[in-house]
Amino acid sequence: MDRVNSFAVLGAGNGGQAMAAYLALQGYKVNLYNRSEERIEAAKKTGGITLSGVFTGFGKLQSITTNLAKALENSEIIMVVTPAVAHKFIARMASPLLKDGQIIVLNPGRTGGALEFYNTLKENKCKADVIISETQTFIYASRIIGPAQARIYGVKNKVAIATFPSLRVREVVDKLMPIFPQFTPVENVLKTSMDNIGAIFHPAPTLLNMAWIESTGGSFNYYQQGISLSVARVLEKLDEERMEVAKALGVEPTSARDWLRMSYGARGHNLFELLQNNGQYSDISAPPDINTRYIFEDVPMSLVPISSIGQKLGIETPTIDMIIDLACIVHETDYRMFGRTVENLGIEDLSVQEINRLVNIGDVRNRHSINEIGKSILNNIKDIDILINDYEKDIEGKYYKEGGID
């Protein structure tokens, strides 16, 4: 397997700056792109980003630019670290620039990210043979702490990743495993999309704490002070509805409780205790105001598609719908109008079986014999099992032995 040498990191927010600096510190050539000049002005002056926290040092970047063509040129892996509301824009602008063999990773895809990206490339007649993948969550808890300075507070133990179509997952994981051993493959992008825990942890606590946020400028711990026992009960209900929709779609969902245990090694009997006992959340402040991506990203790109899929499959989501309605009122915006839905994800007229066929082989039409499709998917599942076993061994040896995250 050839070693990856070059990355493009698209997006210079909290996550993008942290990821670009980390990759540069590991010795990779990194191009950092941002649509506006303001976010990258300081990094241009210094030539890179200073990273602190879990990893420390100065990450020297090869290119820091607002020119997408320049950022993508000669980049083997394209890490999209923008809010999900920008995924469609990135896909549209990148469509004529992409080249065969490039791997696109949405960090994360939220709900339906890979499907939306695929549909946008298709609409824009992109001819390049690229692999679209999405993670279930962002690997770091990170923040920009100053001009050209980012801090990584924690690294998740395990981050699910899937490709569109799922048959190409091995190509992506083989490339990324040496760099991000936390990335572990799952069945398909329905699993990563429906296990979108940001949908549970972001909009509701922000909206239920909006008076506190507005009166203090977010001067409190978001997870451990903002999510009280009562707020946690609302989140538990949201999570139950998310999992019911996932099951109807043929996905075996991971609960928010189990996700905290797997990702951070958190301990507790219920969601409230798990959040309180997660040390990696102890330094995360609330947003400074309610004009935050926790609402303008996570409502239309997470809750709206879950609600839309639920409606298509006959699953009621009253708590999810309540949070969507509240967000629409507070932001005076109809998030259902421009959010991801079964219509714009291209699955409105597909059965559950056809949706699964689409994400597994990239086409709802049965071009191959049933035996051929079944054989390919079985081989892919075997590959995923092997990769997961390798991943578990690697994590045990690399992280727990070194006294990693408890």
Q: Judge whether 151 and 364 are in contact, CB under 8 Å.
A: no
How many Cβ atoms from other residues are within 10 Å of residue 371's Cβ? 8
C-alpha dihedral (165, 169, 175, 181), degrees to nearest 10: 130
Active-site residue, selected from the candidate residues 87, 202, 239, 321: 202
Is position 368 annotated as part of the catalytic site? Answer: no
Q: Which residue reads 């569109």 in tokens?
A: 164
Note if the bond before 288 is cis, omega within 30 degrees: no
Q: Nearest to residue 159, comparing CAs of 178, 179, 185?
A: 185
Is position 349 annotated as part of the catalytic site? Answer: no
Q: Nearest to residue 342, comparing CAs of 107, 109, 111?
A: 111
Distance separating alpha carbons of residues 364 and 284, to the nearest angstrom: 43
Active-site residue, selected from the candidate residues 195, 239, 298, 321: 298
Residue positions annotated with a catalytic role? 202, 298
